[in-house]
Structure 1
């Protein structure tokens, strides 16, 4: 700043002036007159740093009188909350070793106003070399600093404008709350250009949607503390209509790293939000249609599989039994494909959950082999299943999902091989985990495809014709399922040398239960059960006629003939209010009242079946409500008849059943 007294005085001259003022002479010379009358602040302190003299410029700038500042340390009077601590430490360190100081510092007046000084402090030594005083010459550079701030503000605003185009911009001072909006902000809310000056963030808060106001306020508080802002909310326009806005802001820090300003932009995303809502509605309708279609497919599969199972329990010739068994196995494969179709959407929505249960490792390997043996033999392939000697007999895991992965990998191996052998084997790793390996002698997988093998919608060249097969989802879903199970999946392959897929899973060992042996598909119900079921009274609610008939036939083979079969949840509720039953079997996806709702209604009623065990049958256990009624078991469709037989037996006899949640 300017130093006025018949011209400008240099900083060096001012130091000389102050020294002369300390000379002790009674006759104050011209230099002392300069120190007294210059517009620059001049301070003299003793060797402890306490003020012994200051010129009028100090009093005029700070507002302190001589009586208030004499004997005080300048820092105690002038420093405030935003004074840079690092600068204060630097000054203290320099003065402690009697070195000159030249810094810029933010100080405060007596009334609390901020001002900036360029401060030069020199030590003064007596004839004996001892420190006697400190002299401080200080220039008020507040206007220069404000110019710098405004220049930086303009740069920041220009950078924001370049980054976001013609979007409305805000500039908020965090300390005062003062906010300025660009001229194009007002038209965004239905106003006229240039009205942005009347808006502030509290005004915006009041125009935000009531259900979103609290979240918006929390986001703004976090932003003021230093976080970047990126939030969407509804805002009421001046004409009263609602629009969607996206607010994005960046924090501007001062030289000390303290948040001082927020620069941000406002985007009108009403059209984008409307498109999102329409897309979500389309997805909802698609999901409903898919759920309805898969429900119908599962009912058909249930009918085919059940009818085939009844045939297998009849006196068929060996040839006809083999044919019926092939039908049943193909039903199982088709069921897997239906579930496969739904898995991707479940994974993307984060709705796919695992249902661990004890299972026999060798039994799973044998089942995978038996499921695909016909396909392999028809192609002249040898399909081998093996279980290593160190593998635990029984482990805890989601058997259904693991079977799905192994069927997919083994099915691919059979599909892409023309001769040789396909092996599916279980073994134990040095770390004690269980590994499942599927190896084939096929054409191998091109190296270019291997990095993308587990990506969605990637199809693999079959290595022979150059054509690509499949939807490109199978391996991606396998990888997701293995990840959900806490494991890893990898592939080793080279053209002409086949492929090896290896899964490693941390499956917990379960103590062997020798009594829990599996049953074959041809075992008749009376061979599976050791109890008589003829006295059991069962209420069946199934709206699909074929499934209802098959389940009725199945229960009859179990000896259950005291059965009432209805086709709706409402009728089932009415029947349960009139007569006592030993078991209620309801399809979850009944037309009208759902199965779980029917059970809940019966439980809360005054009829005789408030404590009767219930069995819900569902093609998708994710359709079941979270607040399931008590004493309810679940069985997935298409029904696995051995599970049905044992579950019905357990429920009727009061044995604790094991739920099946593999759908």
Structure 2
């Protein structure tokens, strides 16, 4: 018999057995033995006895109709044997037998007084199985089936990630990326099915731990940035100032609820805004709201919205795929938390979801609230498209100690309002936005701040004047933009201007770094060839058919390192600029690079604006600035106090490279290589091979720092610094710290991949 039939036997809430056409028991659950009618009690492998059961075997010889066998050997005997035809995957017939108890004076099959002899009545299935038993069996079956499906799907997901990390032809990569998207969707569906089954069977456990709702809302909005920008949607996340900074709840399940609600809002909103917020209620509960300006729902769709496997648009021509499980799971999760979900919607006028949950403030002792960044300006004029976005943006700015004045763009541009800063929403792709931006900047003057909240990606837009920030709008990003912090990176993603045409040779042995640096160079409008060691770099420079303008040379590489390659290049008479790429921070590094013949020194990890600044003097003919003096080494920071992974670094890479799939592939490659790196460290320690230990730590440190894995990078830096002189027991302690940090890094990066997969 097939898997499904066996699973039905296992999960059946009554005594059940699966038998073949010869009456042999193929599978049985624990309730079967001793629970059958009369002498029908044989275990697995036995053949059911025929004496006294002619009616039963007559039923077996007549498949296609469910049959109920009533046998009442003793007064008050309430047991009923039911026979249901089933088939395996090859079409071989068999039968599912169940024994049910019916505390009735009459037979449930025929309605007559309970007789002494068996008799047969064909019946419809739904007339005999209690509804609650069927629901329970279905839920348990769904859970068990989901777990079985997840095992091969997890293997497929991992194998596809490995394939995406390989160098593939473009046509093959497109196919692999399609498989990746499909497997991620399937994985999300399985997760939803399992959660639905756990909720239906009351087996889902909730946790209670401190969490910051502001950070939770922002983490939900972050993965949706790409879709929001593509659609031109203002995506905004904020919390009311009166909200407790830390509350007690289940962060994973709250994130799951909000991810479904906000993801649906972005999916079904074609223009306007999606606003997710949290605020306290007078009764002590907290309300989470997701408001959009999408297409809206009619009354019939609202009434069936939270039913499983239902979509508001279920027509064959619907534009959005999905199983319709997300909202069903979200509603049941909220109910388990003791809360409720309400929805208001009107066709053509948007939708608002209100989730009310009893989240209490976390005790002050031992809980560190997330610090709120502060603005350097006081009076801010705010121009937002709707009352809802105006309210939530005001919350964000008020939390950062600013006085907010809602206004209009015309009132700002007449120059009489006297604002320290102006924030307004616009489209960076609209040529008229250039004119509006110029007028706003003129109105605020040289000492004021002008920040455009762009609904589209400014990197491909026409606006270049004011500071720009785009979806998702969060507190820290908003403050960074107003304070003019981190220009060109995530706080205010101003496009980096291309450099004059040029050819760059990149020598970098680390595959993770090589892929990212090469993409950065291409984004600067430059041609790039990449090699993996110093010997290949030497050959490329000396034998190039067309000369390179600049070489970016990693210092530590296997075989011939960057210093030796540079010396040989200079010895051959080549004078092209060579810039050192190094992840070390040891005193004397800069001097060693200059002594080898390099022109400058660039420390990894490096951002796109920093790389542009390093290359610009050598491509424009401007004399480069003299190298800054080396700073004294900072005292080592305790490794355990450094965050496992700074996920904002990955978001920065997504923005700088304008290529989320590349970042995902880079993270997958790093995780694939991580096990081998850890093994290499352990093997070098066991041999007490100090050179190999230092080299392995250096390589892992470099790629870790690039991806924001600061704790792992810091642990590797300690191994690298002390590999030459430390005693064996100290090195063992340092390598153990690397191993602990690597475990935390893997968990955090896998979480990043999971979130990206759910948002794709």
TM-score (norm 1): 0.38
Report the structure number with the largest CA radius of gyration. 1
Higher relative contact order (CA 8 A, sep 6+): 2
Flag the structure with higher strand content: 1
TM-score (norm 2): 0.33
